[in-house]
Amino acid sequence: MSDKSNPFGSINASKIFFPIVIGLGVVGYMVVRDFDPAVFGKLTFTWKSAVWLFAAFLCMAGRDFGYMIRIRALSDWVLTWRKAFRIIMLWEFTSAITPSAVGGTSVAILYVNKEGISVGRSSSIVLMTSFLDELYFVIMFPILVLLSGVSRLFDVPDAPEWAHGIFTVALIGYSIKLIWVLGLSYGLFFNPRGLGRFIYRIFHLPVLRRWKRGAGKAAIDIIASSKEMKNKKPKFWLEAFFSTFLSWTSRYWVVNCIMLAFFAVHDHFLIFSRQLVMWIVLLVAPTPGGSGVAEYMFDKFLGEFIPIAGFAIALALLWRLISYYLYLIIGAILVPKWINDKIHINRKNK
């Protein structure tokens, strides 16, 4: 008999292998299309390569460490490091096996709740993580566009029309994020009940009525979060935003470190900026964890920074191994034990 409280009740092995197959399929297609054995003859793996690849793993560790600090801070340090680690790994695993537009947020409340936090407070914590993530993008995107310049950021010599389309998608994605952050800020800090009623009424429109139950829950979460968050001291917000900044910035430095492992890099800031644009686009990718789309975008959007022709495909695969497939492996190891422990506790308490 399935446990209805088990968020992984419908997850099977195919949902783990499906994103891997998509990602490797796209990489395989690009390899067949552009593979040149002479490319790898130009490469030398040195101690410097090992150091920078290790640095790439450290960046991913920094990303998760930032997430752990944040979720502990949002719980008023009730969550231990061990519990925070489990929540983040489960969250990342779920994000990796679901379409990017869905992510792991929908079940994250369950993860936090199962680690000893009340349902209402779990909702507040998850909502605030979403708010802080979107706030990072809302602040950083215009700064990076101004410092990099629109032409440099979106000028891809080999695919100008494709880059123009990416600019349009990024602009639309940013606009949606900005509206979300402004609306949520108004609701959390000024008029939670007013925003809650507005959301509920909007989702009573015929075209949106099928999602009205979810909208009603979101309205309740906003009201609960407002009561908990608007009286927080400045130190709390500094800790929360610093940890968010650490997480996302560490994530984007992974590619720079991977490139430095094999050749000199002169456009670190531009590479960093383009990754933020890539992530905005990947948020609307229909495949699990952006599989296939991420590898393709890496080749198109970052290929010009790789001086060895045909090597972008290999680096794209290495990037995904460190920043994506690793979470599938960790999740596959962690999830069964976590489910068994929680189901055992639930049955014992009944």
For residue 8, is it within any domain?
Answer: no
Share of the chain above pLDDT 70, in %: 73
For residue 162, is it within any domain?
Answer: yes
Question: Structurally, how many domains does the chain consist of?
Answer: 1
For residue 236, is it within any domain?
Answer: yes
pLDDT band at 138 (very low <50, low <70, confident <90, very high): very high
For residue 3, is it within any domain?
Answer: no
**Whether pLDDT at 148 is above 70:** yes
Give the whole-angstrom CA distance, residue 15 versus residue 268: 35
Maximum pairwise Cα distance, the chain: 65
**Whether pLDDT at 208 is above 60:** no
**Whether pLDDT at 342 is above 70:** no
Place of tokens 């995107």: 141
For residue 1, is it within any domain?
Answer: no
pTM, two decimals, is 0.82
In terms of residue numbers, what domain contains 134? 13-349
CB half-sphere exposure, 252, CA atoms < 13 A: 23
Nearest one of 259, 309, 266, 260 to 42, comparing CA atoms: 309
For residue 2, is it within any domain?
Answer: no
Q: Is 141 exposed, middle or buried (0-12, 13-18, 19+ CB in 10 A)?
A: buried
For residue 323, is it within any domain?
Answer: yes
Pick from 22-31, 96-105, 182-191, 211-220: least confident? 22-31
Q: Contact 89/65 with Cβ under 8 angstroms?
A: no
**Whether pLDDT at 135 is above 90:** yes
Give the whole-angstrom CA distance, residue 272 versus residue 263: 17
pLDDT of residue 3: 46
Give every CB contact of residue 138 below 8 A, 6+ residues apart in sequence. 174, 177, 178, 181
| Section 120-137 average pLDDT | 86
**Whether pLDDT at 182 is above 50:** yes
pLDDT band at 73 (very low <50, low <70, confident <90, very high): very high
Pick from 67-81, 117-131, 199-213, 310-324: least confident? 199-213
For residue 256, is it within any domain?
Answer: yes
